[in-house]
Amino acid sequence: MLGDADKLAQACYTPLMEFSRARRIQLTSLDVVSHYNVNGQLGTMVGFIPTGLAPLELPPQFFERVVWWPAIAHEIAHDWFAAAASISEGLRDELDLVSEQQGCQMMVWRENKLSEEQLDQLLSAWFEELFCDVVGTLMLGPAYAWSMVALFARPDAVEHVSTVAVKAGGIDPHPPRHLRVLVTAHILDLVGAHHQSHEVLKHWRQRHRGSPQTIAVPMSVGRQLSWVKLAAGPIVEAVIELADMLFSEPFEALAGTELARIPGLEYGPHGSGETTRIADEILAQRPVHHANPRWIIAGAVMAYHRQPHREQEIMQRVRAAITAVGTFEQAPDAYQSERPTTTGPRLTQLREAFLLHTILAPPPALRRGRRAGLLDSPLLR
């Protein structure tokens, strides 16, 4: 199962690695390796970046539901953001955003309104997560949005999706779920998936009795911590504007290229056609032929969206369709070579070293350099 996750992660990372190499953007990550996190957390271990490995922590329950798989695209974006320092630092400079650490500092409630400076601070706190959601949507299209809806919806507690959480005594770098769904739907609209964008928003609003009119932000009020309900409009507008710029601005940090124009990254008509074909093949119980793992997962999520009662069957077909890393699996219609190919000796040694680290290292709670991801402990906030 981990080999299947590695294969999807490699397919997601390949266009970013090739772009970085072509534009001479220094990128330290060379390979992806997944492993179980027994504490039920999903994230990236950025402390391994200097080794060339991009370790992904996956909870054991990750393989039980197909809608969790698009989170790998989000985590790959996190690693790219961290492993290419010129991108993370350069984008913040060009957008006049401070560091995440500064952005996450607790704000003080003054003047009975959110100041422009405080709004910029929120964007600084949330920037990396929003960046990764934009990249994830470009990679997987509507499947990324529908997986987010399936995982984030809280019809039993609608106020939860519009509340900013507290983490480590400061503002959580993860934006409220409602804002993330809005950004994802907006990117779908920009890539031409207008119908899917409309359907995602319609479904989300139906499950939460419309759109929240306020965003609850934690602030220091006097000597107490309180959640101040602020008008959603200005915050939504600022977040969508940031997503617009990430999608279409030719940033110097990206070598003068827009995110949407990175070769092989955008979902586009080809991805749409492949996703539809694969969803049809899965539901018709036919073998999935000649497919990039990105489109296999995207098609599987869309198949689940159409027939959610068949999720376990869909998961089995996904695993059969993906040729797992570190095995001699062959795609159903693949040419069978006389000698199975292997990775280069350096990457093989790095993988073995990582496995030894996983076995011999202290408990995960004692390690440093971890970036919590789309599904934080316990899987969902």
Residue 303's pLDDT is what? 98
DSSP secondary structure string, 63-87?
Answer: GG-GGGTTHHHHHHHHHHHHH-HHH
Q: Which residues pair with 251 in a beta bridge?
A: 257
Give the contacts of 324 (CB within 8 A, at least 6 positions apart). Answer: 1, 2, 3, 4, 6, 7
Length of the chain: 381
Pairing of strands 53-58, 31-36: parallel
Distance CA 166, CA 154 (A): 18
pLDDT at residue 336, as a whole number: 43
| CB contact at 8 A, 189 and 240 | no
The encoded tokens of residue 243 equal 């997503």
pLDDT tens digits, one per residue of 57-79: 898 888 889 999 999 999 999 99
For the chain, strand residue ranges (E) read 31-36, 43-45, 53-58, 107-108, 166-167, 170-171, 214-221, 224-231, 370-372
CA distances from 356 to 79, 124, 361 (A): 22, 37, 8
CB neighbours of residue 201 within 10 Å: 20
Q: Which one, of 173, 95, 141, 108, lies nearest residue 276 by Cα?
A: 141
What is the tens place of the pLDDT at every residue in 71-127?
999 999 999 999 998 899 999 999 999 999 999 999 999 877 899 999 999 999 999
Cis peptide before 378 (omega within 30 of 0): yes
The C-alpha angle with vertex 203 and arms to 200 and 207, in degrees rounded to 5, equals 135
| C-alpha span between 48 and 79 (Å, rounded) | 10
* Residue in 142, 147, 205 with CA at minimum distance from that of residue 178: 205
Label the pairing between strands 43-45 and 53-58.
antiparallel
Segments of the chain with pLDDT less than 70: 324-381
Q: With contact defined as beta carbons under 8 Å apart, do 106 and 219 qualify?
A: yes
Closest C-alpha among 249, 236, 149 to residue 190:
249
Reading the block at residue 65, the tokens are 């539901």
pTM given for the model: 0.87
pLDDT digits (tens, 9 = 90+) for 314-324: 999 998 899 76
Handedness of CA 61, 62, 67, 68 (dihedral sign): positive
Query: Can you give the pLDDT at residue 41?
Result: 79
